[in-house]
Amino acid sequence: MHPEPAAGCEWIVEAYGCAPAALKDLDKLQALFGRVIEDLALKPVCPAVWHRFPAPGGVTGVCLLGESHLAVHTFPEHGTLCFNLFCCRPRPEWDFDSALKQEFGAASVHVRRVDRPYERT
């Protein structure tokens, strides 16, 4: 028996207790996107778009992928980072926990994986 085909997989990641300065660091956030894109062999269709919010706000970044999208939102005033990756093709798990703890000083990281099945007809 074959598994049901999936329309995609989505990773919803929240990191808490992050270093506020790291959450404002555009270079760190761009490097995070670069690592995820390279490690998972994702295909950006255009460069990522970044927006810095006025203090005390953080940064939002979005990258349109041939597989779907990659997004991040940071909230330095709360020490949190929210990350979302949707892929319409199977991908291996990525170690969000270690990366966000190492690069952003996260005290805790919660990763939810949501498999998106095709609608049954």
Check if 88 is active-site. Answer: yes
How far is the C-alpha of 107 from the C-alpha of 70, rounded, in Å? 23
Catalytic residue, from 9, 73, 78, 87: name it. Answer: 73
* Closest to 64 measured CA to CA, from 90, 82, 84: 84
How far is the C-alpha of 82 from the C-alpha of 16, rounded, in Å? 9
Identify any residues that bridge with 95 across adjacent strands, giving them in sequence order: none
Catalytic residue, from 9, 18, 68, 87: name it. Answer: 68
How far is the C-alpha of 53 from the C-alpha of 11, rounded, in Å? 24
Q: Residues with catalytic annotation?
A: 68, 73, 88
